[in-house]
Amino acid sequence: MQSTERNRMARVDADEVKLCEVHKHNFGIVALYAQITLGMITATLLAYFLLPTLISNTDDAIFYANVFAAFIVMISFSIILVATYVYRQNRLIVTDRNITQVLQSGLFSRKTSQLNLYNVEDVTATENGFLSTTFGYGELMIETAGEQANFKFAYCPKPDYYAKIILDAREKLLGQMKKQSAEDRKQSVKKMGKEVLDKSALSGGEIFMKTR
Protein backbone atom coordinates (compact mmCIF):
# COMPACT_ATOMS: atom_id res chain seq x y z
CA MET A 1 0.00 0.00 0.00
CA GLN A 2 2.80 2.45 0.94
CA SER A 3 4.75 1.54 -2.20
CA THR A 4 1.68 2.26 -4.36
CA GLU A 5 1.22 5.63 -2.66
CA ARG A 6 4.89 6.54 -3.20
CA ASN A 7 4.65 5.63 -6.89
CA ARG A 8 1.50 7.75 -7.21
CA MET A 9 3.22 10.72 -5.59
CA ALA A 10 6.13 10.46 -8.03
CA ARG A 11 3.76 10.82 -10.99
CA VAL A 12 2.43 14.11 -12.32
CA ASP A 13 -1.35 14.44 -12.32
CA ALA A 14 -3.17 15.34 -15.52
CA ASP A 15 -4.15 18.77 -14.18
CA GLU A 16 -0.55 19.66 -13.25
CA VAL A 17 2.17 21.09 -15.46
CA LYS A 18 5.67 19.68 -14.98
CA LEU A 19 8.17 22.51 -14.84
CA CYS A 20 11.34 20.46 -14.43
CA GLU A 21 12.77 17.17 -13.22
CA VAL A 22 16.14 17.45 -11.51
CA HIS A 23 18.56 14.53 -11.24
CA LYS A 24 21.71 14.61 -9.14
CA HIS A 25 24.94 15.81 -10.72
CA ASN A 26 27.19 13.04 -12.05
CA PHE A 27 30.07 14.27 -9.90
CA GLY A 28 28.31 12.88 -6.83
CA ILE A 29 29.05 9.31 -7.84
CA VAL A 30 32.63 9.85 -9.09
CA ALA A 31 34.04 9.14 -5.62
CA LEU A 32 32.26 5.76 -5.54
CA TYR A 33 33.59 4.91 -9.01
CA ALA A 34 37.11 5.73 -7.83
CA GLN A 35 36.77 3.52 -4.74
CA ILE A 36 35.44 0.58 -6.74
CA THR A 37 38.17 0.94 -9.38
CA LEU A 38 40.89 1.15 -6.73
CA GLY A 39 39.53 -1.92 -4.98
CA MET A 40 39.37 -3.85 -8.26
CA ILE A 41 42.98 -2.98 -9.17
CA THR A 42 44.27 -3.78 -5.67
CA ALA A 43 42.51 -7.16 -5.52
CA THR A 44 43.78 -8.09 -8.99
CA LEU A 45 47.37 -7.16 -8.21
CA LEU A 46 47.28 -9.10 -4.93
CA ALA A 47 46.03 -12.16 -6.80
CA TYR A 48 48.92 -12.02 -9.29
CA PHE A 49 51.47 -11.47 -6.55
CA LEU A 50 50.19 -13.89 -3.89
CA LEU A 51 48.92 -16.90 -5.87
CA PRO A 52 52.35 -17.76 -7.38
CA THR A 53 53.73 -17.94 -3.84
CA LEU A 54 50.95 -20.30 -2.76
CA ILE A 55 50.83 -22.51 -5.85
CA SER A 56 54.05 -24.15 -6.96
CA ASN A 57 52.99 -24.60 -10.58
CA THR A 58 53.39 -21.20 -12.25
CA ASP A 59 50.94 -21.94 -15.07
CA ASP A 60 48.23 -22.98 -12.59
CA ALA A 61 48.91 -19.92 -10.47
CA ILE A 62 48.53 -17.59 -13.46
CA PHE A 63 45.36 -19.41 -14.56
CA TYR A 64 43.74 -19.02 -11.15
CA ALA A 65 44.88 -15.40 -10.98
CA ASN A 66 43.24 -14.73 -14.35
CA VAL A 67 40.00 -16.36 -13.20
CA PHE A 68 40.04 -14.38 -9.97
CA ALA A 69 40.78 -11.13 -11.83
CA ALA A 70 37.91 -11.77 -14.27
CA PHE A 71 35.57 -12.45 -11.34
CA ILE A 72 36.66 -9.25 -9.58
CA VAL A 73 36.11 -7.21 -12.77
CA MET A 74 32.61 -8.65 -13.24
CA ILE A 75 31.66 -7.96 -9.63
CA SER A 76 33.04 -4.42 -9.83
CA PHE A 77 31.12 -3.56 -12.98
CA SER A 78 27.95 -5.06 -11.50
CA ILE A 79 28.35 -2.85 -8.43
CA ILE A 80 28.94 0.19 -10.67
CA LEU A 81 25.79 -0.50 -12.68
CA VAL A 82 23.64 -0.95 -9.57
CA ALA A 83 25.14 2.12 -7.89
CA THR A 84 24.56 4.22 -11.00
CA TYR A 85 20.94 3.10 -11.24
CA VAL A 86 20.28 3.84 -7.56
CA TYR A 87 21.99 7.23 -7.79
CA ARG A 88 20.00 8.25 -10.88
CA GLN A 89 16.71 7.47 -9.12
CA ASN A 90 17.27 10.42 -6.77
CA ARG A 91 15.38 13.37 -8.20
CA LEU A 92 13.18 16.39 -7.66
CA ILE A 93 9.99 16.80 -9.69
CA VAL A 94 8.66 20.35 -9.77
CA THR A 95 5.18 21.13 -11.09
CA ASP A 96 3.07 24.27 -11.02
CA ARG A 97 1.55 23.07 -7.72
CA ASN A 98 3.85 20.56 -5.95
CA ILE A 99 7.44 19.53 -5.37
CA THR A 100 8.12 15.80 -5.12
CA GLN A 101 11.43 14.56 -3.74
CA VAL A 102 12.52 10.98 -4.39
CA LEU A 103 15.48 9.75 -2.34
CA GLN A 104 16.78 6.28 -3.25
CA SER A 105 19.40 4.83 -0.89
CA GLY A 106 19.34 1.25 -2.20
CA LEU A 107 17.66 -1.08 -4.67
CA PHE A 108 14.82 -1.68 -2.22
CA SER A 109 14.96 1.51 -0.17
CA ARG A 110 13.20 4.64 -1.38
CA LYS A 111 11.66 7.66 0.32
CA THR A 112 9.19 9.88 -1.55
CA SER A 113 7.99 13.17 -0.08
CA GLN A 114 5.66 15.78 -1.56
CA LEU A 115 5.34 19.46 -0.72
CA ASN A 116 2.75 21.94 -1.95
CA LEU A 117 4.28 25.12 -3.34
CA TYR A 118 1.99 27.11 -1.05
CA ASN A 119 3.91 25.68 1.94
CA VAL A 120 7.33 26.68 0.60
CA GLU A 121 8.84 29.31 2.89
CA ASP A 122 12.15 29.89 1.12
CA VAL A 123 14.61 28.25 -1.29
CA THR A 124 18.38 28.44 -0.85
CA ALA A 125 21.04 27.38 -3.36
CA THR A 126 24.52 26.72 -1.95
CA GLU A 127 27.80 25.99 -3.76
CA ASN A 128 30.78 25.45 -1.47
CA GLY A 129 34.32 24.69 -2.52
CA PHE A 130 36.41 24.69 -5.67
CA LEU A 131 34.93 21.51 -7.15
CA SER A 132 31.35 22.61 -6.51
CA THR A 133 31.76 25.97 -8.22
CA THR A 134 33.90 24.55 -11.04
CA PHE A 135 31.57 21.72 -12.01
CA GLY A 136 28.36 23.61 -11.21
CA TYR A 137 26.66 21.63 -8.48
CA GLY A 138 25.57 22.28 -4.92
CA GLU A 139 22.82 21.83 -2.37
CA LEU A 140 19.25 22.97 -2.90
CA MET A 141 17.49 23.68 0.40
CA ILE A 142 13.71 24.08 0.30
CA GLU A 143 12.46 25.45 3.60
CA THR A 144 8.89 24.66 4.52
CA ALA A 145 6.27 26.38 6.61
CA GLY A 146 4.88 24.43 9.55
CA GLU A 147 6.07 21.10 10.90
CA GLN A 148 6.96 19.42 7.59
CA ALA A 149 10.66 18.65 7.21
CA ASN A 150 12.79 20.75 4.87
CA PHE A 151 13.82 19.30 1.52
CA LYS A 152 17.59 18.91 1.08
CA PHE A 153 18.79 17.91 -2.37
CA ALA A 154 22.56 17.42 -2.51
CA TYR A 155 24.63 17.41 -5.72
CA CYS A 156 21.96 19.47 -7.45
CA PRO A 157 23.15 20.74 -10.85
CA LYS A 158 22.75 24.50 -11.36
CA PRO A 159 21.06 25.01 -7.97
CA ASP A 160 20.54 28.76 -8.58
CA TYR A 161 18.61 28.04 -11.77
CA TYR A 162 16.27 25.50 -10.18
CA ALA A 163 15.80 27.64 -7.06
CA LYS A 164 14.51 30.44 -9.30
CA ILE A 165 12.10 28.06 -11.05
CA ILE A 166 10.63 26.98 -7.71
CA LEU A 167 10.34 30.54 -6.35
CA ASP A 168 8.75 31.82 -9.58
CA ALA A 169 6.24 28.96 -9.55
CA ARG A 170 5.41 29.70 -5.91
CA GLU A 171 4.83 33.39 -6.61
CA LYS A 172 2.61 32.53 -9.56
CA LEU A 173 0.56 30.09 -7.46
CA LEU A 174 0.13 32.63 -4.65
CA GLY A 175 -0.94 35.24 -7.18
CA GLN A 176 -3.54 32.88 -8.61
CA MET A 177 -4.82 32.08 -5.13
CA LYS A 178 -5.11 35.78 -4.23
CA LYS A 179 -6.93 36.47 -7.49
CA GLN A 180 -9.28 33.57 -6.87
CA SER A 181 -9.93 34.78 -3.31
CA ALA A 182 -10.72 38.27 -4.61
CA GLU A 183 -13.10 36.81 -7.18
CA ASP A 184 -14.77 34.70 -4.49
CA ARG A 185 -15.24 37.78 -2.30
CA LYS A 186 -16.62 39.69 -5.25
CA GLN A 187 -19.09 36.92 -6.04
CA SER A 188 -20.12 36.76 -2.37
CA VAL A 189 -20.80 40.51 -2.31
CA LYS A 190 -22.83 40.25 -5.50
CA LYS A 191 -24.80 37.34 -4.07
CA MET A 192 -25.48 39.21 -0.81
CA GLY A 193 -26.54 42.31 -2.76
CA LYS A 194 -28.90 40.26 -4.90
CA GLU A 195 -30.44 38.69 -1.80
CA VAL A 196 -30.97 42.13 -0.26
CA LEU A 197 -32.62 43.40 -3.43
CA ASP A 198 -34.86 40.35 -3.60
CA LYS A 199 -35.92 40.83 0.02
CA SER A 200 -36.55 44.54 -0.58
CA ALA A 201 -38.67 43.79 -3.62
CA LEU A 202 -40.60 41.18 -1.68
CA SER A 203 -41.20 43.58 1.22
CA GLY A 204 -42.38 46.28 -1.15
CA GLY A 205 -44.86 43.88 -2.73
CA GLU A 206 -46.27 42.91 0.65
CA ILE A 207 -46.76 46.59 1.61
CA PHE A 208 -48.52 47.26 -1.68
CA MET A 209 -50.90 44.32 -1.08
CA LYS A 210 -51.70 45.53 2.44
CA THR A 211 -52.37 49.07 1.19
CA ARG A 212 -54.91 47.75 -1.27
Closest CA to 100 of 108, 111, 87: 111
Q: Tell whether 159 and 204 lie within a shared domain.
A: yes
Return the ∠ at Cα 148 (arms to 143 and 149), rounded to 5°.
60
CB atoms within 10 A of CB 162: 21
More confident residue, 198 or 14: 14
CB atoms within 10 A of CB 188: 10
Q: Tell whether 32 and 115 lie within a shared domain.
A: no
For 166, residues 6+ apart whose C-beta sits below 8 A from its C-beta are: 94, 99, 117, 120, 123, 142
The pTM is what? 0.75
Distance CA 123, CA 140 (A): 7
CB atoms within 10 A of CB 182: 10
Q: Which of 70, 89, 108 is the last residue of a domain?
A: 89
Closest CA to 114 of 149, 84, 80: 149
Closest CA to 126 of 150, 94, 103: 150
The CATH number of whichever domain residue 161 belongs to comes to 2.30.29
Least confident of 27-36, 88-97, 153-162, 194-203: 194-203
What stretch of H or E contains 151? strand 151-157
Three-class DSSP category at 147: coil
- Phi then psi dihedrals of residue 50, to 5 deg: -90, -40
Q: Which of 68, 89, 110 is the last residue of a domain?
A: 89
Q: Tell whether 199 and 104 lie within a shared domain.
A: yes
Domain range for 60 is 26-89
Burial of 13 from C-beta contacts in 10 A (0-12 / 13-18 / 19+): exposed
Model confidence at 149, pLDDT cuts 50, 70, 90, reads confident
pLDDT tens per residue across span 152-183: 999 999 999 999 999 999 999 988 888 876 66
Q: Which of 89, 119, 141 is the last residue of a domain?
A: 89
pLDDT of residue 52: 83
Domain count along the chain: 2
Q: Is the pLDDT of residue 14 over 80?
A: no
Q: Tell whether 196 and 112 lie within a shared domain.
A: yes
- What are residue 156's DSSP bridge partners? 138
Q: Tell whether 106 and 199 lie within a shared domain.
A: yes
Under a CB-based contact definition with an 8 Å cutoff, are residues 129 and 156 in contact? no
